[in-house]
Amino acid sequence: MPLSKAQLLAWLGKLDAVYAAKKEYLTDLDAAIGDADHGINMNRGFGKVMEKLPPVADKDIGTILKTVGMTLMSSVGGASGPLYGTFWMKPGMLLGGKEELDAADFARFVEAGVDGILQRGRPERGDKTMYDVWAPVLEVVKARAAAGDDVAAIVDAALPVGEKALADTIPLQARKGRASYLGERSVGHQDPGATSSYYMLETLRDVLHA
């Protein structure tokens, strides 16, 4: 089964709720190794997305994605603003005219999105960023799509990989973003951006299984 536009909108709506619920938690994570704003940033960003979505809800998926990207870009405020902004916008430019995303489209979505993060933040694996979650997830997504899985199966396969990757950010020392100023003191904490990225996957799984 492809990912329908309705599911996409549901995903976004649910993300807004998740980031509202996890606002404190994400901010606490960021307080340990950053500037204690990641939860606030994500909550604000998706709140804005909800405001901006209705007028484009009936447009094609490309347009919706671009709108999400543009909105996050200028409302999140932190580093994750341009990062997630590009993450959503790049696939949007690729998927113009689509009303649903099949497995191949979904793989292109994730690939273009992760590409956007790479282009914007120039992270490397092990830098203790959101890319540490997305890099292994992208591998699974591409592999499962190539193997012929549908979107739900792809996400099911990717989720545990993402979960493990998220936990694996704990022992890392940050080399990008605010946390990099902490040097060794960033070791032992889970990366907030990686956490919010994992929520994107988790929420999508929930939507697809609803």
Partner 1 sequence: MIGIVIVSHSRKLAEGVLELAAQMTRGAVPMEAVGGIDDVENPIGTDPMQVLAAIESVAARADAGVLVVMDLGSALMSAETALDFLADDVKARVRLCAAPLVEGTVAAAVQAASGADLAQASAEAATAIEVKIRQLAPVTGEEAAASAQAQQEAAPQDALRLEIVIANTLGLHARPAANLVATAGKFRSEIRLAKGEASASAKSINQVALLSVRHGDTVVFTVSGPDAAEAVAALRALAADRFGERDEDVALAPTADAAASGKPADANVFSGTPASAGYAVGPAWVLRAKLPEIVRRGSDDPEAQIRELDQAIAAARAEIEAIKRETERISGKASAAIFAVHDLILADAALRDAAVARISGEKVKAAYAWSQTVEETAAAYGALDDAYMRARAADVRDCGGRVLRILLGAAAPALRQEREAIVVARDLAPSDVAGLDAKLTLGIVTEAGGATSHAAILARALGIPAVIGAPGCLGRIADGQVIALDGFTGTVWAAPQQSVRQDIAARRASWLEARHEASARGAAPAVTRDGVAVPVFCNIGSPAEAAVALAAGAEGVGLFRTEFLFQERDAAPGEEEQYAAYVAAASAMQGRPVVIRTLDVGGDKPIRYLETAKEDNPFLGERGVRFCLARPELFRTQLRALLRAAAVADIRIMYPMVSDVAELVGVLALQRQEHDALAAAGLAVPGAVKTGIMIEVPAAVAVADKLAALCDFFSIGTNDLTQYVMAADRGNAAVAPLCNSLNPAVLRMIAMTCRAGEAAGIPVAMCGELAGEALAAPLLLGLGLKELSMAGTAVAGVKDAIRATDGEACRALADKALAADSAAAVRELLRAGNPAA
Ligand X SMILES: Nc1ncnc2c1ncn2[C@@H]1O[C@H](COP(=O)(O)OP(=O)(O)OP(=O)(O)O)[C@@H](O)[C@H]1O
Please work out the total of residues on this chain that contact ligand X, with binding judged by CB under 6 A. 23
Contact characters 161-190, partner 1, x per CB under 8 A: ----------------xx------------
CA distance 204 to 210: 10
Helices 5-21 & 38-52 angle (0-180, nearest 10) = 140
C-alpha 206/C-alpha 92 separation (Å) is 22
Closer of 35 and 60 to partner 1 (Cβ) = 35
d(CA 177, CA 183): 11
Handedness of CA 81, 128, 95, 100 (dihedral sign): negative
Which of 23/59 has CB closer to partner 1? 23
* Cβ 105 vs Cβ 72: under 8 Å: no
Number of residues engaging partner 1 in binding (CB under 8 A):
22
Burial of 116-143, coded b for 16+ CB within 10 Å and e otherwise, reads bbbebbebeeebbbbbbbbbbbbebbbe
Tell me which residues in 37-66 interact with partner 1 (CB under 8 A): 37, 40-41, 44
Among 194, 200, 207, 208, binds ligand X (CB under 6 A): 194
User: Residues in the site for ligand X, rule: CB under 6 A?
Assistant: 30, 34-35, 37-38, 41, 78-80, 83, 117, 121, 123, 129-131, 176-178, 191-194
User: Residues in the site for partner 1, rule: CB under 8 A?
Assistant: 35, 37, 40-41, 44, 73-83, 85-86, 120-121, 177-178
User: Residues in the site for Mg ion, rule: CB under 5 A?
Assistant: 30, 34-35, 37-38, 78
